[in-house]
Amino acid sequence: MKIDGTPWRTLWPIDDGRAVAIIDQTLLPHRFETRELHSLEAAAEAIATMRVRGAPLIGATAAYGLALGLREDPSDAGLRRARERLLATRPTASNLAWALRRIIPAVQALPEAQRFDAAFARAGALCDEDVAINEAIGDHGLGVIRDLLAARGDDGPFHILTHCNAGWLATVDWGTALAPIYKAFDAGIDVHVWVDETRPRNQGAALTAWELAAHGVPHDVIVDNAGGHLMQHGQVDLVITGTDRTVRSGDVCNKIGTYLKALAARDNGVPFYVALPGPTIDWALADGVRDIPIEERDPREVTHIQGLDEDGGVLREVRLTPPGVSARNFAFDVTPARLVTGLITERGVCEASEAGLLGLYPDGAFEAGAA
Ligand code: MRU
């Protein structure tokens, strides 16, 4: 996507293919800074601290992290160490393990001297694939928007609510849930986005609002609890979110609070769609609520908040709660398939069910067996 007319991706190779650079998302929207990753440890740190985040971008960064690990130690032991380190960063999104599964067997078959270059090239190919996948999600999602608009029968603003950030910052480019919105906006549809702030890390208020503004898409940031009220008053035509892991039954795991939006959408007859790339599907699991590991992060993300001190122009963290309070920080929740109107994938739109997913991904049955 473009920032001030310049095209950007969220990570890109540097140093003649010996390292990568990222946009440091912990500083957005207040400061736009890039950061170089020269080692496995730097890549793992960037994922764990959410300098990069969003399921597809976590996978892409892990792919490069694996390559950087092989530059440091191309042995089988080095490969195992890199894999373990990366898998320990964030447990919920499928894409991280998927990216490693994609690359490890291919490089392990090579002599040690060739492993780094091969892994780095494969990470680059995986990034290009992510961009193509997300653009295709945008095209299929645009079809959903056009159908809903036609059924509504007027050409007033089309209001879409989204949760967290599933835009280009969460992927290599385009985004998943925001890709259909960009496509609709570019096609001249009068689209307006309700942006959930997404406590505690505020990916909506900070990241989604920033990227929608950069593209010129009309939007309003709302507090996380406002969505139900807006739906009751006919102010939401469609909810689209991303997902970190989708199991074979069609249950979807996404940023904490997504489930409550799905409940409110069902109560108000608002279509609730989830946009996902194939690599987010975990074919080995069937019951999302029971089986998906939910990341629990540092309670400090709940008790404290970061923002720009407009007096000094500096980023500051301030405490929200009484000192010493006990807090818990569950990062994701699971929305059961029965609450999901449809899944928007790079291969088309399907029902949130095993039959729906297998209709688009007949190879999924094989992957489940291989997992
Ligand atoms: O904790 P985050 O910011 O990595 O969570 C991101 C989300 O929940 C996204 O909706 C999800 O990864 C899909 S991104 C295309």
Choose which residue among 134, 164, 208, 210 to substitute to test ligand 1 binding: the one with the highest number of ligand atoms within 8 A of its C-beta: 164
pLDDT of residue 339: 98
Q: Is residue 244 flagged as an active site residue?
A: yes
Q: Whose CA is nearest to atom 10 of ligand 1?
A: 242
pLDDT score of 268 more than 50: yes
Beta-carbon contacts of 87 under 8 Å, excluding residues fewer than 6 positions away, are 96, 97, 100
Q: At what angle do helices 94-108 and 112-152 cross, to 10 degrees?
A: 150
Q: Measured over all CA atoms, what is the biggest interatomic distance in the chain, rounded to whole angstroms? A: 63
138-159 mean pLDDT: 96
Helices 112-152, 179-186: crossing angle, 10 deg rounding: 60
**Phi-psi bin for 2: left (phi > 0), alpha (psi -120 to 50), beta?**
beta
Residues of the chain with pLDDT > 70: what percent? 98
**Parallel, antiparallel or unpaired: strands 348-350 and 219-222:** unpaired
Residues 228-265 pLDDT 10s: 999 999 999 999 999 999 999 999 999 999 999 999 99
* Per-residue pLDDT reduced to its tens digit, 170-208: 999 999 999 999 999 999 999 999 999 999 999 999 999
User: 94 in ligand 1 pocket by Cβ < 6 Å?
Assistant: no
Cβ proximity of 349 and 144 under 8 Å: yes
What are the residues facing 158 on neighbouring strands?
191
Q: Which of 196, 244, 282, 333 is catalytic?
A: 244
| Residue owning the nearest CA to atom 8 of ligand 1 | 255
Q: Where are the alpha helices (DSSP H) in the chain?
A: 40-48, 55-72, 76-87, 94-108, 112-152, 179-186, 203, 209-215, 227-232, 258-268, 288-291, 300-303, 354-360, 364-370
pLDDT over 90 (residue 366): no
The pLDDT value recorded for residue 370 is 44
Position 152 confidence tier, pLDDT thresholds 50, 70, 90? very high
pTM for the full predicted model:
0.97
Predicted confidence (pLDDT) per residue in 61-80, tens digit:
999 999 999 999 999 999 99
The CB of 244 under 6 Å from ligand 1? The reply is: yes
pLDDT exceeds 60 at position 369: no
Sign of CA dihedral 6, 7, 10, 15: negative
pLDDT of residue 328: 98
Q: What is the pLDDT of residue 121?
A: 98
Q: Answer yes or no: is the C-beta of 53 below 6 A from any ligand 1 atom.
A: yes
Coil, helix or strand at residue 60: helix
Domains annotated for the chain, with CATH where assigned, are: 2-128 (1.20.120.420), 140-360 (3.40.50.10470)
Instruction: Find out whether the beta carbon of 164 lies less than 6 Å from any atom of ligand 1.
Output: yes
